[in-house]
Amino acid sequence: MFASVECWCFAMSEQSIQKPEEYHVQTGKKPRSREEKIGRLKYNQYLLKRVLTMIKEVRDMQRVILNGLKGAGYFHFDVPMLQKFACEDAVDLDILQRVYEVGREGIFPKDVAEGLSEYKLAYWHVSRRIVRMNKRLEHETGERLFEKRGHKWALTRFAFDVFGASESEVKEDKTAPEEEISSE
């Protein structure tokens, strides 16, 4: 009986006296990346949305700074910047040019459409484009490019300040001094 207890105690002591052997600890699995969890396409879409949101925030801040500088008198718009903000394509540029040439009295959308016959526009297309240009410019600068005068469209005071005098007014101003000189 004693012998069996000794055996058992010897076996217990043997287990507790084991020498630590050098062995490698098994590491856990490497966690999956977010891309692997939701899929590469969805992850790329998620990143794109984040970047586009950041760009929108930067553009909003730029707009606030630009309007602040404009209000303080440190910044003045020029024609290319105005065209970049308001016009999307060549048709918009041509509509803007036609309305600018007429001057302060304005022009009917039907007359603009007839003048731009190569684009095959109807008068309502011209009006819609003008409204969209106004909306884009108002979003960027807080100013409008066109205004209604009766049924005609004309440039606003802001636009004339940016463009300077209209071509018809410039022609009138050039002919007026010549007449004064000839009458003397």
The set of residues, in sequence order, having a beta carbon less than 8 Å from that of 129 and lying 6+ positions away, is 91, 92, 95
Q: For residue 36, what pLDDT is reported?
A: 87
Q: Rounded to 10 degrees, what is the CA torsion of 136, 138, 140, 145?
A: 80
Q: Is the pLDDT of residue 184 over 90?
A: no
Q: For residue 98, what pLDDT is reported?
A: 95
* 71: confidence class by pLDDT, cuts 50, 70, 90: confident
Q: Is the pLDDT of residue 179 over 90?
A: no
Q: Is the pLDDT of residue 181 over 50?
A: no
Closest to 130 in 3D by CA, of 162, 163, 152? 152
Q: Which residue has the higher pLDDT, 167 or 115?
A: 115
The whole-angstrom separation of Cα 126 and Cα 48 is 35
**Long-range CB contacts for residues 72-77, cutoff 8 Å, separation at least 24:** 76/162, 77/141, 77/162
Over residues 107-118, the pLDDT tens digits come to 999 999 999 999
Closest to 166 in 3D by CA, of 94, 119, 101, 99? 101
Global pTM reads 0.63
Q: Is the pLDDT of residue 14 over 80?
A: no
Over residues 20-39, the pLDDT tens digits come to 666 667 777 888 888 888 89
Q: For residue 124, what pLDDT is reported?
A: 95
Q: Is the pLDDT of residue 43 over 90?
A: yes
Q: For residue 169, what pLDDT is reported?
A: 57
Q: Is the pLDDT of residue 4 over 70?
A: no
* 84: confidence class by pLDDT, cuts 50, 70, 90: very high
